Amino acid sequence: MKFLAITLIVHRPDPITGVQKSTHDRFREVLDSALLADDLGFDGFGVGERHERPFISSSPTVVLSHVAALTKRIRLFTAVTTLSLLDPVRAYEDYATLDHLSGGRLDLIIGKGNGTAQRDLFHVTPEDQWDRNAESYEVFRKIWRQDKVSADTRFRPPLTDAEVWPRPYQQPVRVWHGSATSKESVDLAARCGDPLFSANVTHPIEPYAELIRHYRERWEYYGHDPAQIAVGAGTAGIHVAPTSQQALAAYRPIFESNLTFFRKAGLPIVFETLEDFVERSSALIGSPQQVIDKVHRYHEQFGHTVLHLHTDASGLTDSQHRASLELFQSKVAPVLRREIPDPPFVWGPVLPAPPLTQELPDV
């Protein structure tokens, strides 16, 4: 199993102290988190893309380029690239450049990812967002694979024998499809033969497991080898402590603060108590063995081989959060790496095979 550290770069007051860091300090915190993830041995570091409050992750290519310059090993993920909002030509140019600068360490997770405010900002409607997402990805996919591209598009000017530069480093970049509730994104992933990344954050396991089962059915419907399926899954939070009592005691004020925030904002409450949240959500809160057992329970339903964890402290102190991630990597990750397989592809740059060399005959 592989492990990603993910941030959506939420920028709001700390749920416990009420203090909100400056924008500058929040970005510095993201860079520090990337370095910590690299040092601790995480397999990937992901940055979301949002264009509405309370997020400041509107330019993931810029952030990931800086992370690429600071690190050498860790793979770089988007979480998610909102292609329904973007011109696919411009998105290709940005990500192909980032891929070259990072030495082929880029993986994309694409998705609709649209709240109302960012849909309005980009004049995208609930009725056309799925068509926009599919069209943008089809054009993006063509550009990455073809030197000249023609496309009769609805949502941007058509392309006729268009050349887009720079040409890619990875051939092609691996693209995961982020999915939360929609069969449209799942079907697009299966049709293209691409891996799926389940959000698995807001609700209990059942709706996510149903979508993953649908993905597997559509994958075979489109004629792909079932052995080549790769599924990733998210988590709703993390705090690993030596004992379950310590984990719950540290996380309880965070949960209660978030519950108050959701109620004031008029947001739906899915989990009324911390105990229910720990039991039925995807949050990994407990002792190392409890976390191992919970990931296995989810794996029985998902068959996932990649797991993402939140890289932000989210109300924990910096020392608590670092200790939690260190404990995860020392006590949890090694067990899960042994017991759950990796994805069915090389975890590294997707490069073309080297040309065959022909030996000259002896003379």
Residue 169 corresponds to which tokens in the numbers above?
Answer: 């480093």
Alpha helices in the chain (DSSP H): 23-40, 60-70, 88-101, 116-121, 129-145, 183-192, 205-221, 244-264, 274-280, 288-302, 318-327, 333-339
Would you call 191 exposed, middle or buried from its count of C-beta atoms within 10 A (0-12, 13-18, 19+)? middle
Per-residue pLDDT of 125-134, as tens digits, reads: 999 999 999 9
Residue 136 scores a pLDDT above 50: yes
Q: Taking Cα atoms as reference points, which of 196, 97, 112 lies closest to residue 144? A: 97
Residue 113 — pLDDT band, cuts 50, 70, 90?
confident
**pLDDT score for 363:** 45
Decide: helix, strand or coil at residue 306.
Answer: strand
Residue 197 scores a pLDDT above 80: yes
Per-residue pLDDT of 317-355, as tens digits, reads: 999 999 999 999 999 999 999 999 999 999 999 998 776
Q: Which residues of 78-111 are buried (b: 16+ CB within 10 A; e: fewer)?
A: bbbbbbbbbebbebbbbbbebbbbbebbbbbbbb
Per-residue pLDDT of 215-264, as tens digits, reads: 999 999 999 999 999 999 999 999 999 999 999 999 999 999 999 999 99
Per-residue pLDDT of 43-82, as tens digits, reads: 999 999 999 999 999 999 999 999 999 999 999 999 999 9
Alpha-carbon gap, residue 318 to 122, rounded angstroms: 36
